[in-house]
């Protein structure tokens, strides 16, 4: 059996709560050295904690500067729910996430694994390809213009959906970007998970959330998601690249089958 994560140095963003908290906890339990990052202080579960606001480019750059080298895994998990202001949401969920990742490449070891926490909310990405292409050069200073032009405001949770659609596509696009160094990037897409932000989703999605709830036997838990992130960080998955792994109690299959009349 190849090594799971023992002895690996792994950065987890959004480590103070929910999925990030549980991921950090089980990684540490399995012998990884976990470097947690969050805007909120809560660090019982990590070896080292870095307080940083990942909506702020200067804070991101400062974080990259102080990070050690030899990092074997980066979990881009920090994220804001759909009820938040679209500009702030896109800073954290997309633009800041990309900036942190690009900035961290030099600190990653050869063979490192990058795991993006996307969402079932990103399943509609094929219908958003034009906006996603237009977002390739999105930066902290042109967000408002982009939000208006591509109608990705917080209305109906669109900014959140878009952030996750674009993240799934960015993951696929980076399937081979760092292949010479053996660095891979994948995504995990949870369905509704019982964490502090679940209520925000239910609030935003209204009737649709109600239908989802009826279709599902139960909401997910952070314990359902964290092991999948750990698996993707492990040496067992070196040939999984640019993939998006749903972990949603069957919801994505349900949506896709219904869409195709299957």
What is the C-alpha separation between 78 and 82, in angstroms, rounded? 14
- Tell me which stretch binds ligand NAI (CB under 6 A): 1-9, 35-43, 60-68, 238-246: 35-43
* CB nearer ligand NAI, residue 122 or residue 174: 122
Residue 216 buriedness (CB in 10 A; 0-12 / 13-18 / 19+): middle
Which of residues 5, 10, 18, 159 is near ligand NAI by CB under 6 A? 18
Using CB under 6 A, count the residues that bind ligand NAI.
27
Question: Smallest gap, in angstroms, from Cβ of residue 135 to ligand NAI?
Answer: 17
- Tell me which stretch binds ligand NAI (CB under 6 A): 49-57, 65-73, 127-135, 169-177: 49-57
Report CA-CA distances (Å) from 226 to 3, 149, 170, 173, 189: 17, 36, 21, 24, 11
* CB nearer ligand NAI, residue 45 or residue 195: 195
What b/e string do you get for 16-25 counting C-beta neighbours within 10 Å, with b at 16 or more?
Answer: bbbbbbbbbb
- Tell me which stretch binds ligand NAI (CB under 6 A): 24-32, 53-61, 67-75, 169-177: 53-61
- Restricting to residues 175-234, which ones interact with ligand NAI according to CB under 6 A? 190, 192-193, 195-198, 201
Strand order, beta sheet including 244-247? 48-51, 33-38, 9-13, 71-76, 108-117, 184-190, 244-247
191, 171, 27, 16: which is closest to 101 by C-alpha?
A: 171
Which of residues 24, 30, 45, 55 is near ligand NAI by CB under 6 A? 55
End-to-end Cα distance, the chain = 39
Question: Smallest gap, in angstroms, from Cβ of residue 62 to ligand NAI?
Answer: 13
- Tell me which stretch binds ligand NAI (CB under 6 A): 27-35, 71-79, 232-240, 249-257: 71-79
Rg (the chain; Cα; Å):
17
- Restricting to residues 74-103, which ones interact with ligand NAI according to CB under 6 A? 77-80, 92
Question: Smallest gap, in angstroms, from Cβ of residue 14 to ligand NAI?
Answer: 3
* CB nearer ligand NAI, residue 6 or residue 213: 213
Question: Smallest gap, in angstroms, from Cβ of residue 172 to ligand NAI?
Answer: 18
What is the C-alpha separation between 52 and 16, in angstroms, rounded? 12
Question: Smallest gap, in angstroms, from Cβ of residue 53 to ligand NAI?
Answer: 5
* Contact map string, positions 107 to 136, toward ligand NAI, x by CB under 6 A: ----------x-x-----------------
Asked if residues 60 and 103 have their Cβ atoms less than 8 Å apart, the reply is yes
Handedness of CA 40, 141, 90, 178 (dihedral sign): negative
What is the C-alpha separation between 68 and 108, in angstroms, rounded? 9
**Interacting residue ranges for ligand NAI, rule: CB under 6 A:** 14, 16-20, 38-40, 53-55, 77-80, 92, 117, 119, 190, 192-193, 195-198, 201
């Amino acid at each position: 059996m190849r090594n799971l994560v023992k002895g690996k140095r792994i950065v987890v963003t959004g480590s103070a709560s929910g999925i990030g908290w549980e991921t950090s906890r089980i990684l540490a339990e399995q012998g990884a050295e976990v470097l947690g990052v969050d805007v909120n202080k809560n660090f019982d579960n990590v070896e080292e904690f870095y307080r940083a606001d990942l909506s702020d480019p200067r804070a991101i750059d400062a974080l990259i500067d102080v990070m050690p080298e030899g990092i074997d895994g980066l979990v881009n998990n920090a994220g804001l729910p759909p009820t938040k202001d679209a500009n702030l949401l896109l800073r954290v969920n997309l633009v800041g996430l990309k900036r942190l990742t690009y900035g961290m490449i030099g600190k990653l070891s050869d063979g490192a694994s990058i795991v993006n926490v996307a969402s079932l909310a990103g399943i509609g990405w094929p219908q958003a390809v034009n906006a996603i292409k237009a977002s390739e050069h999105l930066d902290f200073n042109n967000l408002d213009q982009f939000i208006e032009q591509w109608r990705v405001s917080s209305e109906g949770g669109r900014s959140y959906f878009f952030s996750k659609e674009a993240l799934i596509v960015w993951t696929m696009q980076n399937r081979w970007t760092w292949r010479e160094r053996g660095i891979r990037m994948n995504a995990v897409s949870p369905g509704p998970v019982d964490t502090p932000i679940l209520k925000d989703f239910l609030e935003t999605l209204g009737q649709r959330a109600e239908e989802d709830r009826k279709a599902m036997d139960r909401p997910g838990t952070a314990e359902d998601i964290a092991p999948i992130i750990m698996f993707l960080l492990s040496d067992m998955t070196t040939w999984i690249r640019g993939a998006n792994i749903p972990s949603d109690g069957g919801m994505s299959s349900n949506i896709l089958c219904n869409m195709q009349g299957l």
